[in-house]
Amino acid sequence: MNIDHVATVRQARRTYEPDPVFAAVEAQLGGAFGITVHLREDRRHINDDDVRRLKDVVTVKFNLEMAATREMVEFARSIKPQMAMLVPEGRAEVTTEGGLDVVGKRKSLHEVVARLKGAGIGVSIFIDADPAQVEAAAECGADVCEIHTGPYAHLFHDHGRDGRADLVREELSRIAHAGQLIRSAGMQFNAGHALNLHNVKAIAALPGVEELHIGHAIVSRAVFVGLRDAVAEMVAAVAKRPQ
């Protein structure tokens, strides 16, 4: 579970609640297999102290999303999360808008991946469902590729939540093909972005997908049922994926 959105609510009032660390505890009690946070360069939601406290509290996999900058690499090396996920980052964006351009930044990303892995940190790269990006991520030494599922999720919504719509099926096929390439290259296949209770099952059913990273939909649902139950609902939805 990505708990950034809990920190976003806190920062809306520039106060101390809700505490994302407490959210991580509730998420784990609800059955989350991992906790993700994105430490942005502008610290708009999660801050350095949150990450340090989370590292002491999280007992499942702890994944730190980050830009591939010198500052973030050194911070990650000091914290040593189980996984660091390299993502694109724009100051004006509301949320991550696409995958990282690994092809265009191959040389610098190779160095970033090497420094993180040298500190014993697994490295994931968030990419679009593009074979060229998969190949470049493998060349950079990534352990994991997470495929950006935003285009699929938006098509699913725009077509009346009909997973049989042609464009939805085409995008799902693109993700499945990228996942096959990821696995063939010896990397772990993850997926995430804009997934919710309505669209997650088809993604969860893709061959070889290992992890789904979901945040906004769970926090939104938690407003009505509580965070622990919202996480448990999502875990159950993934477990009931079509075969």
The pLDDT tens digits of the residues spanning 161-170 come to 999 999 999 9
Each residue of 78-98: pLDDT tens digit? 999 999 999 998 655 555 678
Measured in degrees and rounded to the nearest 5, phi and psi for residue 199 equal: -110, -5
Q: Where are the domains of the chain?
A: 4-239
What 3-state class would DSSP assign to 206? coil
Which of 26, 65, 171, 233 is catalytic? The answer is 65
Structure tokens at 189: 């296949």
Q: Could you confirm whether 17 is annotated as catalytic?
A: no
Tally of CB atoms within 10 A around 122: 17
Q: What is the pLDDT of residue 159?
A: 95
Q: Where is 84: in which H helix or E strand?
A: strand 83-86
For residue 148, pLDDT over 60 is answered with yes
Bridge partners of 126? 146
Mean pLDDT of 205-214: 97
pLDDT, mean over the chain: 95
Mean pLDDT to the nearest integer, 23-32: 98
pLDDT at 141 over 90: yes
Catalytic pick from 193, 211, 213, 233?
193
Residue 65 annotated as catalytic: yes
Is 240 a residue whose pLDDT tops 90? no
Q: Which fold has domain 4-239?
A: TIM Barrel (3.20.20)
Q: What is the pLDDT of residue 96?
A: 61
Q: Output Rg (C-alpha) for the chain, integer angstroms.
A: 17
b or e along 24-55 (b: 16 or more beta carbons within 10 Å of the residue's beta carbon)? bbbbbebbbebbbbbbbeeeebbbeebbeebb
DSSP state of 123: E
Candidate list 5, 38, 45, 148, residue with the active-site label: 38
In the predicted model, what is the mean pLDDT of residues 193-222? 97
For 117, the token pair is 């892995």
Q: Which residue do the tokens 């920062």 mark?
A: 11
| 193 in catalytic set | yes
